[in-house]
Amino acid sequence: MDEQNGGETSPEGVEAPASTRFTIEKKEIEGKLDFDWDRLRETLVKVKEAYPKHFSIILLPDNGIDYATIVRMMDVSREYEIKAPDGTKKTEWLFPSPVLAWAVK
């Protein structure tokens, strides 16, 4: 993830969601090149911890990104599971209100 511009810096260097821009990197998974969804989720969890009252995220996919990848991006950014101290799993919201947009170049 890279290219963080402007905004107020929070703990661990994560900037305000309204001004943070992340690039999802690709990595080899089971012999196939795919986006690093785990790293994206980890980064979004850090943003959510810094800004717990934010529920929207703006997605700016490149023109060459297919529909299935956009849907997966929305799914990953929607929620995550945490383990409670007693070992049970609990689902928490990340950014359940995605906004899909394209940048004009």
Per-residue pLDDT tens over the stretch 1-40: 333 334 444 444 444 445 567 677 788 878 888 888 888 8
Whether 59 is covered by a domain: the verdict is yes
- Residue 11, SS3? helix
In a domain, 27, yes or no: yes
What is the maximum alpha-carbon separation in the chain? 50
Q: Classify residue 6: in a domain, yes or no.
A: no
pTM of the entire structure?
Answer: 0.70
Residue 68 falls inside a structural domain: yes
The sign of the torsion formed by the CA atoms of 13, 60, 66, 56 equals positive
Domain count, the chain: 1
Within-domain flag for 23: yes
Mean of the per-residue pLDDT values of the chain: 79
Percent share of the chain, pLDDT over 90:
30
> Is 40 a member of any domain?
yes
CA distance 20 to 14: 8
User: 71 lies in a domain?
Assistant: yes
Which range of residues forms the domain containing residue 38?
11-100
Tell me which DSSP letter residue 9 carries. B
Closest by CA to 73, choosing from 43, 103, 53, is: 43
> Looking at the domain assignment, is residue 32 inside a domain?
yes
Tokens of 18: 């309204």
User: What is the distance in angstroms between the CA of the first residue and the CA of the last residue of the chain?
Assistant: 21
